[in-house]
Amino acid sequence: MAAKSTKDAAVPAVVARLTAAAKYRDVHPDTIAEVVRRESAATTNPAELERLSRARLHKVAALHLLTTRPAALRRAVAEVDASDPAALRAWCRAVLGGHVSTAERLPDLDRFYPTVFELVPRPRTVIDVACALNVFTLPWLREATAAPYTGYDLNATFVAAGNAFTDRFFPDSAVVHDDVLTTPPPHADLALLLKTYHCIEDRRRGAGLALVDELAADHIVVSFPTRAMNGRAAVFVRRHVDALAELAGQRKWRFATAELPSELLVAVGKG
């Protein structure tokens, strides 16, 4: 009973401290609350709970992957003068280079959506689950489909920058500030879950697979990096792909893969 009351007091106190911390200013409060609540299963000690929660949030929010300064990103979106499509694309490439995930995609970007649409049919609606800066690939997505795009990210910096961009150039599209594990996105024909499945599995084992199982989308493209951050082959990817293949088999979904030099794409078709 004593342990329970210590734990009951520790969770809201640690949530309040982390929500107020400058480092997590951009992280959705639901994410912080969920991470602390889950970590509290391992300890009742407030200092230890805070340490475990910070370590988990470091992986979940992946703030270290943004290599540009958030203020510079916001200014860049406000100031872009893209009077012709080629200039807009060149500018988008520069913005995409500001986050590790999209920077890795740059060499394959011209082939990226053509490869996606070899795996899945053209959609009427697209959601990009955990999008970070991928909203800035909209000029490339638009070559393949006019479908409105909605991105979701738990990080308010990406959401603000993405909405400044869509408001100016793609007003039928938007980015929503949400944690997709606590607030599932609405139905779409196509859901993209790019290079984040394994991060979600790190946050909570089985949560990536459950997300794919439960996402209300006819087709889902899940992707993985082909190289780890240290440049070595991403050997951790195999078990995730096997788990997705097994789930697709159980659910009788279509399953297909395609590989670009920087990214492995896995498509499941539920419809």
**Pick 35 or 88: Cβ nearer ligand SAM:** 35
Q: Which of 101, 163, 166, 262 binds ligand SAM (CB under 6 A)?
A: 101
Q: Which of 50, 153, 189, 201 binds ligand SAM (CB under 6 A)?
A: 153
* Shortest spacing between CB 253 and ligand SAM, in angstroms: 21
Q: Which of 53, 145, 150, 155 binds ligand SAM (CB under 6 A)?
A: 155
H-type alpha helices, the chain: 2-20, 29-39, 46-61, 70-79, 85-96, 100-105, 109-119, 138-144, 156-169, 197-203, 207-214, 237-251
Residues 6+ apart with CB under 8 A from 2: none
User: One symbol per residue from 206 to 245: x for binding ligand SAM (CB under 6 A), - otherwise; what is it?
Assistant: ----------------------------------------
Residues 113-132 contacting ligand SAM, CB under 6 A: 130-132
**Pick 9 or 229: Cβ nearer ligand SAM:** 229
Residues 177-196 contacting ligand SAM, CB under 6 A: 179-181, 194-196
Q: Indicate the angle between helix axes 70-79 and 156-169, nearest 10 degrees.
A: 10
Token pair 């200013």: residue: 25
* 3 state DSSP class of 151: strand
Q: Which of 33, 35, 36, 62 binds ligand SAM (CB under 6 A)?
A: 62
* Shortest spacing between CB 20 and ligand SAM, in angstroms: 19
Whether the CB-CB separation of 247 and 213 falls below 8 Å is answered with: yes
Rounded Cα–Cα distance for residues 224 and 105 (Å): 11
How far CA 114 is from CA of 99, 105, 111, 256, 262, in Å, comes to: 22, 14, 5, 15, 15
Count of chain residues binding ligand SAM (CB under 6 A): 23
Binding site for ligand SAM (CB under 6 A): 60-62, 65, 101-102, 130-132, 134, 152-155, 158, 179-181, 194-196, 199-200
